[in-house]
Structure 1
Amino acid sequence: MSETQPNNLEGELLVGDAKIAIVTARFNEFITKALLDSAVNHWTRLGGSADRLTTAWVPGSFELPVAAKKLAESGEYQAVICLGCVIRGETDHYDHVVEQTAKGIREVGTQTGVPCIFGVITCETLEQAIHRAGAKLGNQGGKAMMAAIEMANLLKKI
């Protein structure tokens, strides 16, 4: 008796002819610039050219979904990456920003069919943010770029 194998769909980490957009929050720019630099570095190292990568800046993480949706709806990009950094303060403002930002980014992807990658780091302290932006735990910006490329390739196959 032979087993049948499922039709396995996976996206490769090959830039190919993909166009990617990155939206970065200016709030906590010390951290978000490091995330952006890592994403761009990964793009270049994986063979991406500058003319196929677009970057946009927004004031804060809360504004990421609006710009991401406009970019996704343009039809020019195979994925949109959202980069931001929200650090818990002394009020519950953090919880509202994180929840609504995550929901908004998810909705962009599900409403447009364009992968919208959540590259927003959410931390209790500045030290944690520094670690997640490259000091100890890798850089979430680079990881977001790899996810965007993989998803762009996967959706071509579906």
Structure 2
Amino acid sequence: MFDADKGTAAQLNGSELHIGLVQARFNEGITNTLAAACRAELIKLGVQEAHIHHVLVPGALEVPLALQAMAERDEYDALIALGCIIRGETYHFELVANESGAGVTRVGLDYQIPIANAILTTENLEQAIARQTDKGVDAARVAVEMARLLEELQ
């Protein structure tokens, strides 16, 4: 059983894990920084570069389909969704944010694979820039920790 007292170091040991990243190209300046921070943190946590599979999709709405294709391969211990949705003047923001989030969650539950959702939803570019690095790092840490937790629970 998972031991809550085991300590963060064991929970964040990425050695031998295989991680899939799906990055939306829309708002590429932000998503490239998210991806770079995420990859750097995964490597810092012990995930081998060769065990990180990184794919690009057009936008946040396409992220869940790519995650599903990766989950179906049963080669990954965890997946990471990277994207950036910035509020505009229309309802499109809500549609994209809600549907991409629901899709990411559904894939994780349907395939019983941890997915760190780092699709930023912000009011403006400044908020996205302020969050891009920290959220990339957080996504890596969540993916590794949840992969280890599921190992313990199975």
TM-score under structure 2 length normalisation: 0.93
Structure in which a larger fraction of residues adopt helix: 2
Structure 2: gaps of 5 or more residues: 5-9
- The CA RMSD over aligned residues, in Å, is 1.2
Distance 1:71 1:42 in 2: 21
Whole-angstrom distance in 2 between the partners of 1:58 and 1:21: 13
Deviation track 1:88-108 (CA, whole Å, cap 9, x = no partner) reads 001010000000000000000
- In structure 2, how many angstroms separate the alpha carbons of the residues matched to 1:63 and 1:132? 22
1:129 aligned residue: 128
In the TM superposition, what whole-angstrom CA distance separates every residue of 1:25-80 from its partner, at most 9, and x where no partner exists? Answer: 00000000000000010011112211111000000001000000110110000101
CA distance, structure 2, for counterparts of residue 9 and residue 120 of structure 1: 30
Query: Tell me, what secondary structure is at the counterpart of 2:26?
Result: coil
Matched, 1:153 2:152: no
Q: Which residue of structure 2 aligns with residue 3 of structure 1? A: none
Q: Report the AA paired with residue 123 of structure 1.
A: T
Query: Are 1:143 and 2:142 counterparts?
Result: no
What TM-score do you get using the length of structure 1 for normalisation?
Answer: 0.90
- On the 8 A contact 2:15/2:48 being kept in 1, the answer is no
Q: CA deviation at 1:23?
A: 0.2
**Paired position in structure 2 for 1:92:** 91
Question: Which structure is larger by alpha-carbon Rg, 1 or 2?
Answer: 1
Shift of 1:16: 2.1
Contact 1:18/1:77, CA 8 A, preserved across alignment: yes
Gaps in structure 1 of 5+ consecutive residues:
1-6
> Counterpart of 1:57?
56
Query: Offset of 1:113 from its aligned partner?
Result: 0.4
Please list every run of at least 4 consecutive aligned residues from structure 1 whose deviation after the TM superposition is greater than 3 angstroms: 7-11
- Tell me if structure 2 keeps the 8 A contact 1:9–1:154: no
Report the alpha carbon displacement of residue 130 of structure 1 after superposing the two structures with TM: 0.5
